Each structure stands twice: as C-alpha cells, then as structure tokens.
Structure 1
Amino acid sequence: MTAKKNSNIAGNPEFNVPPNDIEVERAVLGAVLMDKDIIHTVSAIIGFKGEVFYDDRHRIIYETLIELLANSTPLDLITLQSALDGKHELEKIGGIEYLSYLVETVEVSAHAGDYAKIVKDKYMLRRLIQSGADIINMCFKDTRPAKEVMDSSAQSIMQVTSDLTSAREFDTLSGLGKDFINGIGDTKHSTIVKFGYRHLDQKTFGMSPGQLIIIAARPSVGKTTFGINICMNAASQLVKKYENSKAPAVCVFSLEMTSDEIFRRILAAEAHISGNSLRYEALDQCITSQMEDKINSTVNRLMNYPVFIDSTSSPSVLEMKTRARKISSERGLALIIIDYLQLMSADEKYSRQGRQFEISKISRDLKIMAKELSVPIIALSQLSREVTKRTGKASRPRLSDLRDSGAIEQDADLVLFLHSQEDIEENVPNPVMEVIIGKQRNGATGTIELKFMQKFSLFTELEKPLGEEMSI
C-alpha cells in the first residue's frame, strides 16, 4: 500500500483553526482577577508560561500575572493595568476595557480549576498537531537515516506526553493511607513481584513498582542466567495469580543475545536439560525420544507465560520506553529486565561527552522510566576490572566497582552483586554463588547463597533453613 501524495487535511476548513476555546480562556483569567488566590490553582495545572493560551492577548495577560506573582505584587485590575502599561502592552490586549470585560464575564471563580484543565487540554492538542507537522517536515527534508528521523519523531511525541503527565497534584496522607489499608491482604491485585528465591525475597520483600534494580557481576559469572531465572519466576507467579485472565507482561530487552538464545536458556532451565544438548548442531545427536517428550511438554507450558523478548542491538532508553509502553497499554506490564546496561546507547550529544557521562544519563533515564511506567526495572551491569585485582574476601564486589559511572549507585534502589569464591572458569560443578545485597534503599544489606547449576542455566536454593543466611 503506497502513501497518498496529498493529505486529506490540506484544504479542509475543519482543520484551518487549531483546537482552542477563547471563552474558557477568558473565564480563567477573569477568575484570577476576581480572586487573587485562584492563580495558585490555575498555575498548578497549566504552569507558568503564557503559550498555553491560544489568544495572544491572553498570553500577554497571563505572563504579566505570573510576573506580578513572582514579585509578590498583589493581583488586581490596578496592578495588572500598571504592569501592562509599563511594558507598553496595555493597548495590545485591548486596554483597561478588555481587562474589565474579563472580570464581568465570570460570575463565580470556583470553576477556575476545571476551566484551566480545558485550556491545558487544548494546548496539548495544538502541541501534538505541531509535532505531527514537524515530523512530516522531517520526513520530506531531513537527510538523516530513517531510523534517526523515527527516533527524533518519537522523542517529539514523548515530550508532549511527558508534559501532559507531569502536571499532577500532591499525594495526600489521607489518600496514601487508604491505598495502603486497601492493599493489605489483597494479594490478587498486589503490584509486588517476587524474585522467586525465598531468602532473597525475605530480605528485599520482592520488587516494587518504580524501583531500579542493578544486578552486577564480572563476565561469565552468570548474571544473564540469573536475570532470565528471575524473569521466569516472575512470569510463573503472574500466571498463577491471574489464572485464566490475561496476566501482565514481563519484558526482556536482550542486547547481547538473540531471542532464540534466550529461549534455549529458558528451556534448559525449565526442562532441566543440558543447554549444550539444545544447540542446533547437537539436537540430532543428543535428544532422545524421552527428552523430546519433556521438551514438548515444557514448550507447551511456556507458551502460556507472558514473556516478551526484544533483542534489538543497542537501543536507547526512549526506544525501550516506547516498546514497553505499547505492551503496557495492551495487557499491562509487571517487570522489565535489561541485559545489559553498558550495551545501551544515549543520544549522540551525551555520548560525545564521554562514556561515563553517557552511562550516567542512561542510568538516570532508566530510573525515570521505572517511575513513569510504574514497574520495577532490572538492569544487568558489568563490574570494573578493579575487582579482579583483589584476592580473598577483598575480592567481593563493592559499590565502587560498578563500571563506568557512580551514578548507577545513586540511581539504583537495590544493587545485587553475584560472586563466587570458586573459580567458575575452571568448570567447578554447581558452584555456590553469593548474592550480595550491596545497597537497599529501604532495607538492610546482606548476603544469601544460591547454587549455580551451569549445565541447566539455573540458579536454585541451597538446602538451608531460613535465617541462616550469611551477613557482611
């Protein structure tokens, strides 16, 4: 299907005038002039810029009111008239006669907040129209590759969305208290996702919406496997919780491995079959009829799990947010896992300032993304080489070992390190792995132990009672 050369919008009189409501704009300004305290209600909704108003006269009047407010000057007809006259803008807005008319058109000021929301809504629609026009212009004239133009287009639309959602009211203790009480015992609608390892969940109480969780380790220690295991543990919980209804998704962004490689690791762990046997070149030689039956039953079970894998190389946070938001709108979203942070990219203007600055920007954007989407985000991360230079107990990872940026430590709500005293590269069977809680914003640090069954790409619990975890 080819795109039409001419838009249906062009020449259509319905689209000649952008969305606006002049009468409502007058009502907002008249209410402020009638009751000076209304300015706080209005500005909390539409902000402090006059561009929100469609009528140029109203833009000038509102910006002048904000200037008076900033200077602690009383807001009334006299002070407004004087300020406008001092800027030689009184005649532009129609003089004192128009200011008086604004007051006369308002009977009560109580509805100013509702009117302000309408003004803001019309403004956002105009912003969206302008973004669309800019996108069309870029498509015709921009010489950059299509992917870069698409990224700029998405950034433009996301900025409008961000501005729309940023103007929110304060949360009150009354509302927060009611939500807390209503949530006690309501496991059906709980938004907490568990790691799936009882000792770790006991220490952290699982993963909460808005958290940025960092899982860091040296290469080949098992951080990808650990991330995948957590993914499947969460998916299993969601399937059980939502039973026959559509469960919210677990979204995996795999920047290093293909989706097929991720699936084979999942299959190995869930079916308890050696990952080497599931390599394509080994299937005919290694898979027995009994193993094939086990694989088929496991695959059929996994088909019901709400796991979505994106193996795009080096995506930006914006690209991830756009894809995650789409899934969230379609079925809900419970968890995002990113493998791994250092393979992500930021805008060129940030990357030009050095890798440390770029990683800082990515880290901060991931935290903002977690809050905006209201889901926990797990980002796997590499450690710096300094950790390999230490021996004995000193070889345990520290927060200062997080690679490329100290901002990762600052932005993260929870930092977990994977560490083994045994040399994994020497093929020690099922080594004991320490999961070190290096930082927990709302809890204690500590260490738990898991068994790493490398053959099956699986971390499992050690057989030890609760309460016997190690401490550091």
Structure 2
Amino acid sequence: MAVDSLARKIAAPDRAATFRAPPHNIEVEQALLGAILVNNDAFYRVSDFLEPAHFFEPIHAKIYELIASLVRAGKTATPVTLKTFLPADLDVAGLTGSQYLARLAAEATAVINAMDYGRTIYDLALRRALIGIGEEVVNEAYDSPVDSSPRDQIEAAEKSLYELAENGRYDGGFQRFADALTAAVDMAAEAYQRDGSLSGIASGLKDLDRMMGGLQRSDLVIIAGRPGMGKTAFATNLAYNIAKAWEGGVRPDGRIESTNGGIVGFFSLEMSAEQLATRILAEQTEIASYKIRRGEIEPADFDRLAETAREMETIPLYIDETGGLSIAQLAARARRLKRQRGLDLLVIDYIQLLSGSSKRASEGRVQEITEITTNLKALAKELAVPILALSQLSRQVESRDDKRPQLSDLRESGSIEQDADVVLFVFREEYYLKNREPRPNTEEFFKWQEEMDRVHGKAEVIIGKQRHGPTGTVQLQFKAEVTRFSDLADEDKLPARMED
C-alpha cells in the first residue's frame, strides 16, 4: 500500500502553489545600518564578509554601498555626509532620504551587536540564493534537454552550490576597475609581507621562485617531460614543500585563510596513494624508496622513517587516487575539498589520464584534450588557486640531437600551450648520456666520463612559457635514488677549497 501511495505521488505530484516571501529581516538591516552610521567602526566588524548584494531591501543595499565607499576613502559616513549621494526625490515609506537616514541612526543597535546582525543578513541572503538554486534544479529536472544527463545536472548544481558557499553569491558579470585595482594592491602588500617577498606561493626552490615570483593564483602551470625525467618527483617535491610550510587561521566568516605555504590537493591518476606516500617519504628521509618497500633498512633508518612520518601526518596534503576521472568529476571533487578543508594548490598527475565529456571524446583525442585544458584553466580561475598539471611529451624529442624539449613537443600542443599560463619542462641530460655509454678504456669512454661528471646530479627546469615573467632555465640538483629536487649550490658561494 505504501509503495502504491508513493507511486501515485510520483505520477501526480501536488502542484498546489502557495506564495511565500523569501527569507529576510528588514529590522535587522535597519539596525545594522544605524549602528554603522552612529559609529563607523561597526563597518569593519562586517566588511570582511558582508556585501551590498546580501541586503534584501534595495535602498539598504544602496546605503551600505555608499557607506563602504566613504569609509574606505577615509571619510566619515553619517546621515549628513550620506544624504547628498541619495536621489533628492527618494521616498521610503513616506520619508525622504534625509529623514530615513536620521531614523536609522536614531534606532541604531549597539556596535557590539553589529557582527551578529551582519551574520544574520548574510545567512538570510544565502538562504535566498539556495532557494534560487533549488528552483533552477527543479525546473531543469522537469524540462531537461535530450542531450543533458542527470550527472551533468548534478555537477552543475554542485558547482552553483560551491560558488555560493565560497563567495556568498553566484551572479558573476562585470566588476568595477576600482575593485580589481584594490585586489592588485592587496596582492602587492601580501607579497611585501610574505617571506621571500613573493606575489605567489613559494615553491621551496629559491631559484625557481626568483624567476616566477612563486605560483600565482588562478594560473594553469603545465609540468612536462619525457618518461624518466622526474616530472612526478618534481611535482611531489613542490606539493610537499608548500604543504609543509602551511600556516593559517580562520576568517570572521568561518573560512580558512592561509598566511604562508598552502593546503594542497593531489590527484594521483597513475600511482596509488600508498606509492605516492612512499615516494615522499623517500624524498624527505633520503632513504631509497625501493629499500623502504623491501624493508632493507637499518634500525636507525627506521627510526628516522617513523619520526618523519609523524611529522608528515600533520601537513595539509590531501590525495585522491581515483583513476579514470573525468574533468567534470575532478572539478566537483576540487570544489568539495576547498569548501570542506580549504585549498591553495591543486596538482594533477597527469592530463592524458583524464577524460572529457562523451561528446568531445567522440570528436577525437585532440578535441577532448582541448576541453580538458580549457576546463582546468577555468577551474583555476574559479577556485583562485594555481593548478599544476603534468603532461607527457611526444616522441619527436628522441629524434633530435639536442633532447631539450620545446613547446611544439607537447602532446596535443595546440590546446595545452594556448591555455597554460606557465609551461615548465623537466630535463636531465644525465639520463640520456647514461644510456650512451661507450666501451670501457677507449678515448670515447673517457670523454663520456667527463661529460657524466659534468652533468651528474643536475637537472634543468626550462620555463618555456610564462605570461607574466621571463622564460629561461633554472639549474637544480637532483638525487635520483630518492627522487628529490633541491637548489643547486652556487660555485661562487661555496667555501674556498684547501689546496695541497
């Protein structure tokens, strides 16, 4: 009987529509505005999270916007200074603009209550936005196009919910140049105060940071290289360095804010989480990963391993080892991570293991990769974090005498090169030279030995493209046994050698 009743409800839902006013509280809005007009210090208690769009009453949104402009310009916002910016013919429930401002100030709440009132306004605005998203989900579910799958609708709804949770609004559109200018100045101020004076997140490699200014928000950074060059090791090194350096706190609106380093999300599409953890353990303890896997370690090494593992447990590095992800699934999981844990850097190992939509896949791999890289760049902007995405290189590198990679060597290079803000190539000459060892005790062997000594333990990170900086080559040290990159010691800065 219960099943039949449920079936009837599904077949013929109750369509009796009743009008309900969106959640709002005019009195709270009036009380907060009055408090700010009486004491402008109240504005700073809510300005971190409350925006004009969060007010239900349009005139209140306009008044709050005017107050914000005056206070941020270093001026005092009072009913007297504010009334000149309101229309002369304004009528608010029978009151002129000047009279309404005076009434707000007369009925002001205490400054100490400003944050609570601001949070109430903010929460009500989120509820109204949730209602809008819910109505949109219902309408799309009723009237979905033939080529739209339920999975696509779920991912679109999750994206809208993420944007709402992150920003408190989902309207997008144009913004004033003054707002963008303020953000640029704030970024410069943060760089001035941050260790190393970098505008982006420090990678832990000083020479690379000097060339790039750190990893910049909203940038898509491609790390490419042939097999054996160490591109995965390079990415894990950067991810660990950034997560280990993380320091942060909680903003007034409850969101996590990083002040140094960053919270890292790592999509390992090729290796398992255990393999990745073993590799990072090897990098940090300088114990070869094959010895860790086989248990071929001394007691002292095991103690060092355990101590390092305890230290690593506290770092904010999150690994997703799911293989065969689509770009839409990856984006949904990244949004969820930022919403729940925070996120400052996203690493993807690697692009060619991602899949696009079924429509693009049917058009060919090039079109599918184009969709993936375009969506990765859009995701970097949406999340406001740098994305490090690893990519393979074509085999044409092997056919040249000089094996240093170029932009044209990128697989499906058109889209990857176009969408990337930065392209880094990892290159180790030692890898190629080692495979060309001549017969021992010959003239060619001694020349080869000299070349091996010159390049041993060295790697190059070639900056093939950088939208907001120079291109060039950064020399690094590479310990192959533990797959660890580090800054190369400057010969001019080394202590003088003692002569015999």
**What CA distance in whole angstroms lies between the structure 1 residues aligned with 2:208 and 2:493?**
11
- Report how far residue 321 of structure 1 moved: 2.0
Contact 1:249 1:327 in 2 (8 A): no
1:129 and 2:135 equivalent? yes
**Shift in Å, 1:135:** 5.7
Say whether residues 1:377 and 2:377 are aligned partners: no
Find 1:419's aligned residue among 427, 432, 437.
427
Q: Which residue of 2 aligns with 1:196?
A: 204
Distance 1:202 1:120, change over 3 A: closer
Q: Distance in 2 between matches of 1:353 and 1:255?
A: 23
Letter in 1 for 2:395: R
Distance 2:327 2:20 in 1: 32
Q: What is the alpha-carbon distance in structure 2 between the residues aligned to residue 11 and residue 226 of structure 1?
A: 59
Question: 1:18 & 1:358 partners in 2: Cα distance?
Answer: 45
- How far did residue 450 of structure 1 move? 1.5
Q: Which moved more, 1:402-411 or 1:361-370?
A: 402-411
Partners of 1:363 and 1:408 within 8 A in 2: yes
Distance 2:413 2:199 in 1: 30
Q: What letter corresponds to residue 201 of structure 1 in structure 2?
A: D
Provide closer, same or farther for how the CA distance between residues 290 and 109 of structure 1 changes in structure 2, counting only shifts above 3 A: farther
How far 1:454 moved relative to its partner?
1.7
Partner of 2:292: 278
5+ residue gaps, structure 2, are 24-52, 54-90, 98-123, 164-168, 251-255, 436-451, 495-500
Opposite residue 303 of structure 1, the aligned amino acid is E
The correspondence of residues 126-205 of structure 1 with structure 2, limited to 5 A, is 126-132=132-138, 149-150=150-151, 152-158=153-159, 164-172=170-178, 175-176=182-183, 178-180=185-187, 182-183=189-190, 185-187=192-194, 192-205=200-213
Q: Shift of the alpha carbon at 1:338?
A: 0.5
Percent of aligned pairs with the same amino acid:
31
The answer for the alignment partner of 2:408 in structure 1 is: 400
Q: 1:263 aligns with which of 270, 277, 291?
A: 277
Could you tell me which residue of structure 1 aligns to residue 342 of structure 2? Answer: 332
Structure 1 residues 135 and 275: CA distance shift in structure 2, 3 A: farther
Q: Please give the alpha-carbon distance, in whole angstroms, between the structure 2 residues aligned to 1:273 and 1:465.
A: 27
Amino acid corresponding to residue 267 of structure 1 in structure 2? L
Q: How many residues align?
A: 363
> CA 1:157–1:268 in structure 2 vs 1: closer, same or farther (change >3 Å)?
closer
SS class of match (1:356)? helix
Q: Structure 1, unaligned stretches of length 5 or more?
A: 22-44, 46-103, 111-117
Corresponding residue for residue 216 of structure 2: 208
Q: Report the Cα offset of residue 183 of structure 1.
A: 2.9
Note closer, same or farther for the CA distance 1:294–1:242 as it changes in structure 2 (3 Å cut). farther
Distance 1:349 1:109 in 2: 58
Residue aligning to 2:30:
none
Contact kept, 8 Å, 1:209 with 1:376, in 2: the verdict is: yes
Q: Aligned-pair distance for 1:304?
A: 0.9
Aligned equivalents of 1:315 and 1:218: distance in 2? 23
Separation in 1, partners of 2:303, 2:334:
34
Report the aligned-residue RMSD: 4.1
Report the Cα distance in structure 1 between the residues aligned to 2:184 and 2:140, rounded to whole angstroms.
45
Partner deviation per Cα, 1:373-427 (whole Å, 9 max, x = no partner):
00000001111111111113xx211111111131111111111101122235948
Aligned to 1:289: 299
2:482 maps to which residue?
Answer: 456
Equivalent positions of 1:333-372 (< 5 A) are: 333-372=343-382
2:264 corresponding residue in structure 1: 250
TM-score by structure 1 length?
A: 0.66
> Are 2:499 and 1:447 equivalent residues in the alignment?
no
How many angstroms apart in 1 are the aligned matches of 2:315 and 2:215? 19
CA distance in 2, matches of 1:246, 1:159: 22
Q: Which amino acid aligns with 2:394?
A: S
1:445–1:433 CA distance, 2 compared to 1 (3 A): same
Q: Using the alignment, how far apart are the partners of 1:330 and 1:122 within structure 2? A: 22
Contact 1:131 1:157 in 2 (8 A): no
CA distance in structure 1 between the aligned counterparts of 2:156 and 2:422, rounded to whole angstroms = 29
- What SS does the corresponding residue of 1:312 show, helix, strand or coil? coil
Alignment partners' CA distance in 1, 2:189 and 2:95: 37
How many angstroms apart in 1 are the aligned matches of 2:342 and 2:314?
A: 16
Q: 1:109: how far off?
A: 13
Code of the aligned partner of 1:346: G
Distance in 1 separating the partners of 2:287 and 2:234: 17
Matched to 1:154, the amino acid is E
CA distance in 2, matches of 1:160, 1:296: 41
Matched residue SS, 1:463 = coil
Q: Which of 229, 232, 239 is residue 240 of structure 2 equivalent to?
A: 232
**Contact 2:239 / 2:347 at 8 angstroms: preserved in 1?**
yes
Distance in 1, Cα, partners of 2:400 & 2:461 = 18
Distance across 1 between alignment mates of 2:285 and 2:142: 50
Q: Deviations over 1:62-93 (max 9, x none)?
A: xxxxxxxxxxxxxxxxxxxxxxxxxxxxxxxx
Q: 1:191 to 1:136 in 2, by over 3 A?
A: farther
Letter in 2 for 1:128: G
CA contact (8 A) 2:207 2:474 kept: yes
Which residue of structure 1 aligns with residue 86 of structure 2? none
